[in-house]
Chains A and B, each alone.
Chain A
Amino acid sequence: MRRAIVALLVAAAVGSLAWAQVSITVAAGNVGQELALTKAAAQRYMDSHPGVTVNVLDTPDFVQDRLGVYLQVFEAKSSDVDVFQIDVIWPGDLAEHFIDLNQYVPKDVVDQHFPAIVKNNTVDGKLIGLPWFTDAGLLYYRTDLLQKYGFSGPPTTWDELQSMAKTIQDGERAAGNPDFWGFVWQGNAYEGLTCDALEWIKSSNGGTIISPDKVITINNQNAIDAVDRAAGWVGTISPPGVTSFGEEDARNMWQAGNAAFMRNWPYAYSLGNATDSAIQGKFDVSPLPAGPGGQPAATLGGWQLAVSKYSKHPDVAADVAMFLASPAEQKIRAIQGSFNPTVMSLYKDPQVLEAAPFFGSLYDVFINAVARPSTATAPNYNEVSTAFFNAVHDVLTGKENATDAMALLELDLQDITGFATGQP
């Protein structure tokens, strides 16, 4: 009897030791409240799973730098990081380093999330990342100015936006604000321009640069017209400096009350309504306008949780990822940090809607967001995107005309991907 008790005790000790050894590291972003929220969630996991330690690793803010850190971990096949927070454009490029989450995550859990994001995260039938939060391009507009100049609502076409922006800009400048501009957006040569330009082109029936079935569709008249239209904004309704604007440059101008319209991600909403904002309570968001005969398009952004192939405990890591991406956790993030949930049902949750009302009114925008061609072009998406935003930037800065730029881009994309060319 005594022996049995000793044996049991030893077994229990060994067992708990084995449990205590499970340590999971999550590489997470640190933009705004991001890191604090993730750390709090990790603590909640540890409270309910005493055998697991979850460490949260802080990674660089600039997306390209974060990719650099991740690539170094993968190059070393290191087991130091188990769960990675990955950008919506990375599943294709990085698929070979992640496990198939379908082995661990039940189908009904996966089906709670937006199908478009799940599709984006699925590479060759493998679920690479569990959706964590999403982003989509939105049109911010000044409700007070629209009213002042007699407009009944936000523009639904790009041409309408152009004329409204011009009217308001002329009026505000005459009223004594020489720094006022009609429309600000992201025109610098970087990933953000790929997002903006994809919206102009897609909403004008110009395709998605490269189609999901691997055809280079960028060299078409609708796309050329869309880029030309945007080039016409530079210096007329948008400041000449917009060609070196990122998200924050646009938001700073907008939040100082110096712009009538802005294209940006949802994060600018809560900041614009903060007490130190010049436009608190004077703006709203709507879907982006569309081109002739097109439907509005918003580029899909957002972040996923993926589990490293080199992890020593992929099963526990997958469980942590599932916990972090669960409806309960996403709800906390939505309320505290206004991060867009990827769980569809949360868009009907009264507490979430109270914290961020536009989640409800723009549900269609989020569900119909257009993915960048990252899955089709993997593992060369970054090169494709760089060629694309540089070509568009050349048109915006007047170095090249849109017709030539798109023809050259088509050649570049052929070189990079080896895909055939065609019409969208």
Chain B
Amino acid sequence: MSRIATCFAALAEQGRKALIPFVTAGDPVPSVTVPLMHAMVEAGVDVIELGMPFSDPMADGPVIQLACERSLAGGTTLLRVLEMVTEFRRDNDHTPVVLMGYLNPVEAMGYEVFAERAAKAGVDGVLLVDLPPEEAESLAPLFDQHGLDRVFLLAPTTTEARMQIIAAAGTGYLYYVSLKGVTGSGALNVDEVAAKVETIRKHAKLPIGVGFGIKDAASARAISRVADGVVVGSALVQRIADHADEPEKIPAQVSQLLAEMRAAMDESE
């Protein structure tokens, strides 16, 4: 069983939900990322989504755009991101790591080389925002071959017919984008999310993570009641931005928010 499947199975057994942070690798400097990953695990996260920076992050709001700019300005490349995962794996063999980003840097490296290097580094899954299942046909077998899970997005606009396509194409978990908009925008409507997650469950057996618009302990708790995983990104990345001038403080700052979310999610009803 893959690390991701093992992780979700164990959580289900305990009746707990996955806390899934997103941070951009190399933001604001490369040296922060691995200590930050370990600190987040300490704070109680279950899966780490690690952003591969891209110059033109079309689906992201200003917070993550700026994170990409800081990371690229600091010299972070896709190869460097993979090295960070290798380094993380020296001290952590259990926390799944999912790379998240845009297709072009992966194309530039080459699908085959990327899949091989990612697997070797200890990556467990890949989510490419601008790669819907229809365009993933040549990449999917390579990911299978190297044991990488294919995480796909679902959105409020996704029809039931497409849910079936996406559920069939995805492995590991599914990522439901809770609102129409870019990352870090809008207000969360938990009832709408709950209804949509119910519909997705009719078509998919995979665990469902929900992201976009979760910014504090209360929203994390609310989403944990309706989904299998809670993804939090911009709220963490904003904390990183606030401390970009004193990066040594970043792991503690980010962990503090995650620990609050963890506690709220684990509270009994």
Chains A and B belong together in one complex: no
